[in-house]
A = this chain, B = another copy of it.
Amino acid sequence: MSPTKEHIILTSFRLFLQKGYKEVTMNMLVKATGLSKGAFYHYFENKEQLFVETLDNLFFSISPFNNEMIINPEVSFFDYMQMYIDNIKKMAKTVSTYVGEESSGMGYYRLMLDVAHYAPDFHKKIDASNKYELAFWRKVVENGIRKGEVKEDLDVDILANHFQWLQDGVALNSIFSGDPDGLYSNLDKVFSQLYKIIKK
């Protein structure tokens, strides 16, 4: 990909993440990139395609999962929990790298809503990502039960969902309360206590 195009995409992503699709105008993008209208419409058909291509390149690369997250039967439930929190932390760092300092994580949710509205196809990708995350928790829970670390009279699906939902809720709340750092400490606290009561 041409360096100019890459520059456009990165700058656009930053702005979309800060303000959302509708709030970002082409002239803002032109100004922010230091380029011209001509350059934009040379590389992209229209604003919507630019948005979609931007998402395709960067939005879905932000994921709390990496290669280390592949399930290893040796690793304990507790360690996976910590690993998960670390990855959330990394992901948040990645987002704030793109977005600079402003707008905290609010833009991330805004963008998810825009995705649902302007690029309904990507909605499936978000769905798939959620499914993947759920499958992760499912395996971790199963593993924990098999190893005798976690109580066995618990419904695996519900507990897997429990962790995922809890993470979503904490993230949502830390974003809306404007306390991005609360995400980690709160996640740590509530996960630890939950672990304490599901531990055999």
Contact = CB atoms under 8 A, between A and B. Distances in A.
Given A22-B22, A106-B113, A162 B176 contact: no
Interface residues of A, number: 39
Contact of A169 (B116, B169, B189, B193): B169
A170 interface: yes
Interface in A115-158: 116, 123, 126-127, 130, 151, 154-155, 158
A35 interface: no
A9 to B, nearest CB: 23
Contacts of A161: 186, 189-190
A47 interface: no
A176 B126 contact: yes
A20 B109 CA distance: 14
Contacts of A126: 176
A173 B130 contact: yes
Interface of A: 20, 22-23, 106, 109-110, 112-113, 116, 123, 126-127, 130, 151, 154-155, 158-159, 161-162, 164-170, 172-173, 176-178, 186, 189-190, 193-194, 197-198
